[in-house]
Amino acid sequence: MTKVKICGITDAETARFACEFGADALGFVFAKSKRQVSPIQAQAIILDLPSSIRKVGVFVNEKIENVKWIFSKCGLDYVQLHGDESNSYIKSLDLPVIKAVGIGSKADVEQISSYEADYLLVDSPKGTTYQGGNGVTFDWELLKDLDESIRKRLIVAGGLDEQNVQKAICEIRPYIVDASSSLETDGKKDMTKIARFIEKVKRCS
Protein backbone atom coordinates (compact mmCIF):
# COMPACT_ATOMS: atom_id res chain seq x y z
CA MET A 1 0.00 0.00 0.00
CA THR A 2 1.31 3.43 -0.94
CA LYS A 3 2.19 5.58 2.06
CA VAL A 4 1.30 9.27 2.49
CA LYS A 5 3.55 12.06 3.70
CA ILE A 6 2.09 15.50 4.40
CA CYS A 7 4.84 18.10 4.39
CA GLY A 8 5.01 21.67 5.63
CA ILE A 9 3.24 21.07 8.94
CA THR A 10 3.22 24.23 11.09
CA ASP A 11 0.58 23.62 13.77
CA ALA A 12 -0.62 20.89 16.11
CA GLU A 13 -4.23 20.87 14.89
CA THR A 14 -3.25 20.08 11.30
CA ALA A 15 -0.75 17.46 12.46
CA ARG A 16 -3.33 15.65 14.58
CA PHE A 17 -5.95 15.77 11.84
CA ALA A 18 -3.55 14.36 9.23
CA CYS A 19 -2.59 11.52 11.57
CA GLU A 20 -6.18 10.68 12.44
CA PHE A 21 -7.17 10.64 8.78
CA GLY A 22 -4.41 8.23 7.79
CA ALA A 23 -1.15 10.05 7.06
CA ASP A 24 1.93 7.88 7.56
CA ALA A 25 4.51 10.65 7.83
CA LEU A 26 4.64 14.39 8.51
CA GLY A 27 7.26 16.84 7.32
CA PHE A 28 8.58 19.84 9.27
CA VAL A 29 10.55 22.43 7.32
CA PHE A 30 13.56 23.93 9.09
CA ALA A 31 14.96 25.57 5.95
CA LYS A 32 13.96 28.97 4.61
CA SER A 33 10.36 28.59 3.46
CA LYS A 34 6.85 29.96 3.82
CA ARG A 35 6.30 26.87 5.99
CA GLN A 36 9.43 27.13 8.11
CA VAL A 37 9.14 26.19 11.79
CA SER A 38 11.59 26.57 14.64
CA PRO A 39 12.90 23.54 16.56
CA ILE A 40 10.81 24.64 19.56
CA GLN A 41 7.62 24.82 17.46
CA ALA A 42 8.27 21.42 15.88
CA GLN A 43 9.13 19.81 19.21
CA ALA A 44 5.84 20.98 20.73
CA ILE A 45 3.85 19.51 17.83
CA ILE A 46 5.78 16.24 17.68
CA LEU A 47 5.45 15.54 21.42
CA ASP A 48 1.71 15.13 20.89
CA LEU A 49 1.92 12.73 17.93
CA PRO A 50 1.63 8.92 17.88
CA SER A 51 4.93 7.06 17.78
CA SER A 52 3.77 5.25 14.65
CA ILE A 53 3.87 8.47 12.62
CA ARG A 54 7.21 9.13 10.95
CA LYS A 55 8.46 12.65 11.68
CA VAL A 56 10.67 14.14 9.00
CA GLY A 57 12.79 17.28 9.27
CA VAL A 58 13.49 19.12 6.01
CA PHE A 59 16.89 20.85 5.64
CA VAL A 60 18.77 22.68 2.88
CA ASN A 61 22.58 22.80 3.04
CA GLU A 62 22.47 23.02 6.83
CA LYS A 63 25.52 22.50 9.04
CA ILE A 64 25.79 18.87 10.12
CA GLU A 65 25.96 19.71 13.81
CA ASN A 66 22.75 21.76 13.53
CA VAL A 67 20.92 18.93 11.78
CA LYS A 68 21.99 16.45 14.44
CA TRP A 69 20.95 18.80 17.25
CA ILE A 70 17.50 19.46 15.76
CA PHE A 71 17.02 15.75 15.03
CA SER A 72 17.61 14.92 18.69
CA LYS A 73 15.83 17.96 20.12
CA CYS A 74 12.62 17.42 18.16
CA GLY A 75 12.45 13.64 18.18
CA LEU A 76 12.65 13.23 14.41
CA ASP A 77 12.78 9.89 12.62
CA TYR A 78 14.33 11.09 9.35
CA VAL A 79 16.13 14.09 7.92
CA GLN A 80 15.17 15.15 4.41
CA LEU A 81 17.97 16.87 2.50
CA HIS A 82 16.80 19.26 -0.21
CA GLY A 83 20.06 21.02 -1.04
CA ASP A 84 23.40 20.12 -2.57
CA GLU A 85 24.36 17.61 0.11
CA SER A 86 26.88 14.99 -1.01
CA ASN A 87 27.28 11.34 -0.08
CA SER A 88 30.06 12.28 2.32
CA TYR A 89 27.64 14.68 4.01
CA ILE A 90 25.03 11.90 4.28
CA LYS A 91 27.58 9.51 5.80
CA SER A 92 28.78 12.15 8.26
CA LEU A 93 25.24 12.66 9.51
CA ASP A 94 24.92 8.99 10.46
CA LEU A 95 21.13 9.43 10.65
CA PRO A 96 18.19 8.02 8.65
CA VAL A 97 18.18 10.15 5.48
CA ILE A 98 15.79 11.03 2.67
CA LYS A 99 17.70 12.67 -0.20
CA ALA A 100 15.68 14.89 -2.51
CA VAL A 101 16.55 15.23 -6.20
CA GLY A 102 14.97 17.69 -8.60
CA ILE A 103 14.00 15.94 -11.84
CA GLY A 104 14.23 17.90 -15.07
CA SER A 105 16.16 15.55 -17.33
CA LYS A 106 17.41 11.98 -17.77
CA ALA A 107 20.71 13.05 -16.23
CA ASP A 108 18.85 13.93 -13.02
CA VAL A 109 17.26 10.47 -12.95
CA GLU A 110 20.65 8.80 -13.41
CA GLN A 111 21.91 10.76 -10.42
CA ILE A 112 19.31 9.24 -8.10
CA SER A 113 21.05 5.91 -7.57
CA SER A 114 24.33 7.58 -6.60
CA TYR A 115 22.98 8.68 -3.23
CA GLU A 116 23.41 6.30 -0.30
CA ALA A 117 20.23 7.34 1.49
CA ASP A 118 17.45 5.35 3.11
CA TYR A 119 14.85 6.91 0.80
CA LEU A 120 15.07 8.96 -2.38
CA LEU A 121 12.63 11.78 -3.02
CA VAL A 122 12.00 12.99 -6.56
CA ASP A 123 10.58 16.48 -6.93
CA SER A 124 10.18 19.21 -9.52
CA PRO A 125 13.37 21.19 -10.24
CA LYS A 126 14.39 23.85 -7.74
CA GLY A 127 12.37 27.06 -7.79
CA THR A 128 13.83 30.54 -7.94
CA THR A 129 13.13 31.22 -4.26
CA TYR A 130 12.75 27.88 -2.46
CA GLN A 131 14.19 24.41 -3.05
CA GLY A 132 11.12 22.19 -3.20
CA GLY A 133 7.55 22.88 -2.19
CA ASN A 134 6.86 24.80 -5.37
CA GLY A 135 3.66 22.91 -6.19
CA VAL A 136 4.69 22.01 -9.75
CA THR A 137 4.72 18.56 -11.32
CA PHE A 138 7.61 17.25 -13.41
CA ASP A 139 7.68 14.85 -16.35
CA TRP A 140 6.91 11.48 -14.77
CA GLU A 141 7.80 9.77 -18.04
CA LEU A 142 11.46 10.34 -17.11
CA LEU A 143 11.06 7.73 -14.36
CA LYS A 144 9.67 4.95 -16.57
CA ASP A 145 12.95 2.96 -16.66
CA LEU A 146 13.75 3.38 -12.97
CA ASP A 147 15.06 0.22 -11.34
CA GLU A 148 12.54 -1.60 -9.15
CA SER A 149 14.97 -1.62 -6.23
CA ILE A 150 14.80 2.19 -6.22
CA ARG A 151 11.01 2.34 -6.56
CA LYS A 152 10.75 0.41 -3.30
CA ARG A 153 12.32 3.37 -1.47
CA LEU A 154 11.05 6.13 -3.73
CA ILE A 155 9.09 9.17 -2.53
CA VAL A 156 7.35 11.25 -5.17
CA ALA A 157 6.60 14.94 -4.61
CA GLY A 158 5.98 17.97 -6.80
CA GLY A 159 2.48 19.25 -7.41
CA LEU A 160 0.61 16.13 -6.31
CA ASP A 161 -3.05 16.69 -5.42
CA GLU A 162 -6.32 14.79 -5.28
CA GLN A 163 -6.73 15.13 -9.04
CA ASN A 164 -3.44 13.57 -10.14
CA VAL A 165 -2.13 11.44 -7.27
CA GLN A 166 -3.79 8.22 -8.42
CA LYS A 167 -2.26 8.65 -11.87
CA ALA A 168 1.14 9.24 -10.26
CA ILE A 169 0.84 6.08 -8.21
CA CYS A 170 -0.14 3.99 -11.24
CA GLU A 171 2.64 5.37 -13.45
CA ILE A 172 5.51 5.67 -10.97
CA ARG A 173 4.66 3.01 -8.36
CA PRO A 174 6.41 4.80 -5.48
CA TYR A 175 6.63 3.77 -1.84
CA ILE A 176 5.42 7.16 -0.62
CA VAL A 177 3.61 10.14 -2.14
CA ASP A 178 4.34 13.56 -0.66
CA ALA A 179 2.25 16.73 -0.85
CA SER A 180 2.42 20.18 0.68
CA SER A 181 1.42 23.37 -1.18
CA SER A 182 -1.38 21.65 -3.12
CA LEU A 183 -3.08 20.93 0.22
CA GLU A 184 -3.31 24.59 1.16
CA THR A 185 -5.83 27.40 0.77
CA ASP A 186 -4.58 30.96 1.15
CA GLY A 187 -1.22 29.70 2.37
CA LYS A 188 -2.56 27.44 5.13
CA LYS A 189 -3.15 23.71 5.22
CA ASP A 190 -6.74 22.89 4.26
CA MET A 191 -8.23 19.97 6.22
CA THR A 192 -10.66 19.11 3.43
CA LYS A 193 -7.88 18.93 0.84
CA ILE A 194 -5.75 16.79 3.15
CA ALA A 195 -8.64 14.39 3.74
CA ARG A 196 -9.45 14.09 0.04
CA PHE A 197 -5.80 13.57 -0.88
CA ILE A 198 -5.27 10.79 1.66
CA GLU A 199 -8.56 9.17 0.67
CA LYS A 200 -7.54 9.09 -3.01
CA VAL A 201 -4.18 7.51 -2.15
CA LYS A 202 -5.66 4.82 0.07
CA ARG A 203 -8.36 4.03 -2.47
CA CYS A 204 -5.76 3.58 -5.18
CA SER A 205 -3.46 1.37 -3.14
Q: Which residues are catalytic?
A: 7, 123
Positive/negative CA dihedral, 142, 1, 165, 36: negative
Give the E-state strand segments of the chain in sequence order.
3-6, 25-29, 54-59, 78-81, 97-102, 119-123, 154-156, 176-179, 184-185, 188-189
CA nearest neighbour of 6 among 203, 172, 165: 165
Q: How many residues are given for the chain?
A: 205
Encoded amino acid at 171, one letter? E
Question: Helices marked H in 142-190 — which ranges?
Answer: 148-151, 165-172
Residue pair 60/84 in contact by the 8 Å Cβ criterion: no
Task: For residue 98, list its beta bridge partners.
Answer: 80, 119
Dist CA 126 CA 136 (whole Å): 10
Dist CA 86 CA 66 (whole Å): 17
